[in-house]
Amino acid sequence: MIRTLLVALLLTVASAGTQAADLQSFGRGSWSKLRAAHDGQPTVVHFWGLTCAPCLVEMPEWGKLRAERPDMKLVMVAADPVPQDPARVTDILARADLARVENWAFTDRFNERLRYEIDPAWAGELPRTLLIDRDGKETVLTGVADLAEVRAWLDAQKNR
Amino acid sequence: MRGLLVLAALLLFAGTAVAQHKHVKPAASTPEAFTATPAFGPDGTLWLVRAMADRIVVVRSTDLGKTFSEPVAVTPEPTNLDWGPDARARIVVDPRGGLVVTFAIFQDRNFNGRAFYARSKDNGASFAKPAPITADATSQRFETATVDPATGRVFATWLDKRNGPKARAAGKPYPGAALAFAWEDGEAGFGPTSIALDNACECCRLGVAFAGPGKPAVVFRNIFPGSVRDHGVVTFRDEKTPGPVRRVSADDWKIEACPHHGPSIAILPDGSYHVAWFTNGSARKGLFYARADNGDTPFGAPRALSTAKRQPARPYLLANGPALHLVWKEFDGNKSTVRWQMSQDSGRQWSEPRTVADTDDASDHPLLVAHAGRAYLSWLTKADGYRLIPLEGQP
């Protein structure tokens, strides 16, 4: 019981993040850890890239959605094919007011492997959004996400 | 109690953070160029240009890649090399044994590039100070130099953004970049730049093959109406006159971005065209190959290479006499493998795909190179370094 509570509190602390951007290194095996940490919770995972122009255009919209839905479990993964300077990644996140969400960045150049662990058929195109429900079922939104669809999905999770 | 729990959770969190996550240290890493590109000299010397993080070097091998010379610097000092996934320093050897290296740097954080070339007149013992390939400083990337096999003249083509600011100043949108070209102009370097066409996709490598003397054929990811980023081939009528765009395939990949995944082309002595490419279009997704009988006929039906679940990527074609070789990279869940197919009937029938190399870490694109009638896979991997692998079972 105490342990469960502790884990719940831990996750709250981890996702709320009280300090500046805490960028985690996404490498081999990170995806299964990330999924396990969010097991049973509806989670939005947004893959973006510093080298992806439409991602940078879209980013502030995610910041707004985050402000509007503070209870949303949002995970941002910078999935550039060539690992980027973390200082620049956190800078872009901070500008979109997304520094305090759960942030990850690809740091392994073996991009094929990281993508394969997430989805074998993902060719690496960005942006890409995964809506993962309580049962672990994934809905993939490729390209710039229709945030109305994300909102509707979030509402549907509450009503389940 | 509640307070205690919170404290415990905070402490636990702090502990877990250190134990479980490798946090990214600010400024711990910057993107790095990691490529090796080969060219054989007429005497059988294998020349290799390496982009190594912030410098370009050339090495040579006289024993088919078993051993290499000490590196010779092309860039005199550390530089901000273009590390884009499709960017590549290249080397060509002209019929007189002269060497030309091309590469690009990033000028700024907006991925505006500057393409350079450097020539060696002393058989690779040293290289002249790199000079810009063109006078316009707006942006050039994906520079690709090729020797016209008939004339020995070096042809360079690249993606050039010079027309973007002008269009936007006039209130017109300008997606992508222009396909630009120039020919070597003797000892003076490259001659004046011409624009073959505007609005090609801006982040994909180009492929070049020769259809005849003074007639390069360039394959590139084009932007067709509606931001559809499918492939086209332009064949020059003569050195100065690019022909029309011939579409390779209607994949209907509508995307407001550039996928950093360019095509490859080969032309056989029978005049047939062969193109391999990646797409994620609504009509088809994955890696494909198509052929055309000559420079005028439409391309035939695309043939899928592998399946999308194996992430087939980075195709490369080589005509070696009448034989046509095709390699690509795919991922099997643990390893990246290089798959190889060969055709001896102008790309109509192909051998069964075979794995000719693999690696369990990051790797450069697989390339093909030929000398004295034999074709080789040229591949740089993190785990094994550079390898020149003879393709077995050739006629």
Task: Quickly list H helices, chain B.
Answer: 2-20, 163-169
Given an 8 Å threshold on Cβ–Cβ distance, is A25 in contact with B260?
no
Asked casually if ipTM beats, i.e. exceeds, 0.85, the reply is no
Cβ contacts (< 8 Å) between B260 and chain A: which residues?
51, 81
Given an 8 Å threshold on Cβ–Cβ distance, is A112 in contact with B278?
no
Task: Give the model's pLDDT for residue B394.
Answer: 62
- The answer to whether A54 contacts chain B (CB < 8 Å) is yes
* Long-range contact set of residues A66-74: C-beta below 8 Å, sequence gap at least 24: A66/A97, A66/A98, A66/A101, A67/A97, A69/A151, A69/A154, A72/A44, A72/A154, A73/A15, A73/A38, A73/A41, A73/A42, A73/A43, A73/A44, A73/A102, A74/A43, A74/A44, A74/A46, A74/A98, A74/A101, A74/A102
User: Among residues 136-165 of chain B, which lie with CB inside 8 Å of chain A?
Assistant: none
Cβ contacts (< 8 Å) between A113 and chain B: which residues?
331, 334
Task: Give the model's pLDDT for residue B96.
Answer: 85
Task: Give the model's pLDDT for residue B17.
Answer: 38
Task: Give the model's pLDDT for residue A30.
Answer: 97
Name the β-bridge partners of B280: B285
Closest-CA distance of chain A to residue B155, Å: 29
Whether the per-residue pLDDT at A152 is higher than 90: the answer is yes
Given an 8 Å threshold on Cβ–Cβ distance, is A112 in contact with B24?
no
CATH number of A2-158: 3.40.30.10
* Domain ranges within chain A, ordered by starting residue: 2-158
Helix, strand, coil percent values for chain B (each to nearest 5): 10, 45, 45
Query: What does the block give as tokens for B124?
Result: 């690779």
Task: Give the model's pLDDT for residue B21.
Answer: 45
Please work out, in degrees rounded to the nearest 5, the angle formed at the alpha carbon of residue B216 by the alpha carbons of B212 and B219: 130
- The answer to whether B260 contacts chain A (CB < 8 Å) is yes
Given an 8 Å threshold on Cβ–Cβ distance, is A105 in contact with B24?
yes
Select from A82, A90, A103, A107 the residue whose CB has the most chain B CBs within 10 Å, as the one to mutate to test that interface.
Answer: A82
First to last CA, chain A: 25
Task: Give the model's pLDDT for residue B15.
Answer: 37
Given an 8 Å threshold on Cβ–Cβ distance, is A52 in contact with B8?
no
The alpha carbon of A61 is separated from its chain's Cα centroid by a whole number of angstroms, namely 14
Burial class (CB in 10 A: 0-12, 13-18, 19+), B231: buried
Q: Which residue of A lies nearest to B256 if distances are taken between CA atoms?
A: A54
Closest-CA distance of chain A to residue B117, Å: 24
Task: Give the model's pLDDT for residue B257.
Answer: 75
pTM of the model: 0.89
* Structure confidence by residue, pLDDT tens digits, A78-94: 999 999 999 999 999 99
Task: Give the model's pLDDT for residue A7.
Answer: 45
- The answer to whether B66 contacts chain A (CB < 8 Å) is no
Cβ contacts (< 8 Å) between B331 and chain A: which residues?
112-113, 116
Cβ contacts (< 8 Å) between A33 and chain B: which residues?
20
Q: Which helix (H) or strand (E) holds B215?
A: strand B215-221
Closest-CA distance of chain B to residue A4, Å: 11
Cβ contacts (< 8 Å) between A51 and chain B: which residues?
84, 111, 260
Given an 8 Å threshold on Cβ–Cβ distance, is A120 in contact with B5?
no
Closest-CA distance of chain A to residue B339, Å: 15
Task: Over range A119-147, report the average pLDDT.
Answer: 94
User: Among residues 14-53 of chain A, which lie with CB inside 8 Å of chain B?
Assistant: 14, 22-25, 27, 33, 51-53
Residue ranges of chain B with pLDDT lower than 50?
A: 1-22, 25-28
* Structure confidence by residue, pLDDT tens digits, A43-62: 999 999 998 888 999 999 99
Identity of the residue in A25, A54, A86 whose CB atom sits nearest the CB atom of B256: A54
Identity of the residue in A22, A84, A116 whose CB atom sits nearest the CB atom of B31: A84
The 3-state secondary structure of chain A, one letter per residue: CHHHHHHHHHHHHHHHCCCCCCEEEECCCHHHHHHHHCCCCCEEEEEECCCCHHHHHHHHHHHHHHHHCCCCCEEEEECCCCCCCHHHHHHHHHHCCCCCCEEEEECCCCHHHHHHHHCCCCCCCCCEEEEECCCCCEEEEECCCCHHHHHHHHHHHHCC
Q: Which helix (H) or strand (E) holds B277?
A: strand B273-280
Cβ contacts (< 8 Å) between B261 and chain A: which residues?
123
Select from B24, B285, B337 the residue whose CB has the most chain A CBs within 10 Å, as the one to mutate to test that interface.
Answer: B24
Whether the per-residue pLDDT at A141 is higher than 90: the answer is yes
Average pLDDT of chain A is 88
The three-state secondary structure class of B114 is strand
Query: What does the block give as tokens for A95?
Result: 């500008």
Closest-CA distance of chain B to residue A27, Å: 9
Task: Give the model's pLDDT for residue B255.
Answer: 86
Given an 8 Å threshold on Cβ–Cβ distance, is B31 in contact with A6?
no
Query: What does the block give as tokens for B326?
Result: 């095709």
User: Among residues 74-93 of chain A, which lie with CB inside 8 Å of chain B?
Assistant: 80-90
- The label of the residue with tokens 């890493």 reads B29
Given an 8 Å threshold on Cβ–Cβ distance, is A123 in contact with B8?
no
Closest-CA distance of chain A to residue B143, Å: 19
- How many angstroms separate the CA atoms of A17 and A32, rounded? 21
